[in-house]
Amino acid sequence: MVEGRTRPAWVEVDLDALRHNVALLAQRVAPAALCAVVKADAYGHGAVPVARAAIGAGAAGLAVALVDEGVELREAGIEAPVLLLSEPPADAADMVVRAGLAATVTSRGGVDALAHAARRVGTRVRVHVKVDTGMHRIGVAPGAAAALVAAVADEPALALEAVWTHLAVADGTAADDRTFTVLQLETFDKVVAGLPARPQVLHAANTAGAVAWTAARYDMVRTGIGMYGLAPGPDLVADGDSGPFLARLRPVLSLRARVSAVRELDAAERPSYGRRRPLPERGVVATVPLGYADGVRRGLFDGGCEVLVGGRRCPLAGTITMDQLMVDCGPDAAVAPGDEVTLIGRQGSDEVTAAQWASMLGTIGYEVLCGIGPRVPRVVVGGPAGRKP
């Protein structure tokens, strides 16, 4: 078996697909460098194996959201550049310095905390100054950016490596979205033009910006969702040459389990909590050991979710429970305990995608991937760092 020993359910992470995506994206954005975003445990795929595969496929560096995420990579022996995408808390500055992370700063307090930590350790810290050009999440205001950049440049314990920003609607194709992205890039360019010297690195593009906005690529792009084989949004899939390009990406994650129990039930029986739907005819109902505690959300039942069993699409038979779900396999189905069930991924000639789940749930593919819980074991397959089941 490829799954965990105590539970027949697992996430399959295909590193061959990930390497393919990284190489494809790197080719798209060249000569800009590609920074692989591996925050949130690499969007639920497993930060350490994904980081290693991404660097091996041509990524110039890695990006994380939390100090602990960067430390995890260092403790695994990964020596590639790692960028912390948010300003670290002052009491975590020593950890940033000792782990050799590049740190984002957005305030004078952040500059001072990192400088003090660097002097205590006896080293210099690489710093990226983030400018808020309209996302309004974190970042120094454009009018205050020059002073913050100067504070970093004037501090001997710090090394100014980059100035950057983040695009809010680069995946949008509506006129208002495109106008706002242009405005963000113009604001960023004005900030850079007002600096005494151009920083070594400028970066602004997420996956959407990297794919659809040539002007946003600068010296480096930060690719997250595209690296994992999903489009940043449905509008971009249908826009210009972005759609054909995004269609060449390969999904990296599959969610699979094995049937744990089978029973034959009469028509009009109502399985699961709430007895919400009668079976349309007598048939086989299979129990699968995954539930909403694992990220298989209850709303999928209302959304008409189907899973793949024996290469056939089968609907859910009732409300998803915390640890298990039930599948209506139909009359006379040849289904037995131990048979593989694919919830996300390909089985035979058919495929269920995270984007389809997102549509049913009224959310985005990012949330679907990140929502698959940690108690579902990750199994790495593909290439020299993995194995095929």
Catalytic residue numbers read 39, 273
Residue 250, classed as helix, strand or coil, is coil
Helix or strand or coil: residue 323? coil
User: Is 358 in contact with 352 (CB distance < 8 Å)?
Assistant: no
Q: 210, 226 in Cβ contact below 8 A?
A: yes
Which segments of the chain are extended strands (E)?
9-14, 33-37, 61-64, 82-84, 102-105, 125-130, 158-164, 201-205, 220-223, 253-258, 261-265, 283-288, 306-309, 312-315, 325-330, 340-347, 350-352, 378-381
Handedness of CA 39, 224, 296, 386 (dihedral sign): negative
For 159, the 3-state DSSP assignment is strand
Q: Any residues with CB less than 8 A from the CB of 374 and at least 6 apart, and which? A: 41
CA-CA distance, 380 to 371, in Å (whole number)?
Answer: 18
Cβ neighbors of 99 (< 8 A, separation 6 or more) are 67, 70, 71, 74, 82
CA distances to 147, 163, 196, 209, 314 from 142, rounded to whole Å, are 10, 11, 15, 20, 53
Alpha carbon distance 269, 259 (integer Å): 20
> Residue 378's beta-bridge partner residues?
11
Distances (CA, A) of 275 to 245, 271, 317: 44, 6, 10
The token pair at 139 is 């970042």
Contact predicate 183/145, CB 8 Å: no
Q: Which two tokens stand for residue 168?
A: 């809010």
Tokens 């909590």 belong to: 273
3-state secondary structure labels for all residues of 301-320: HHCCCEEEECCEEEEECCCC
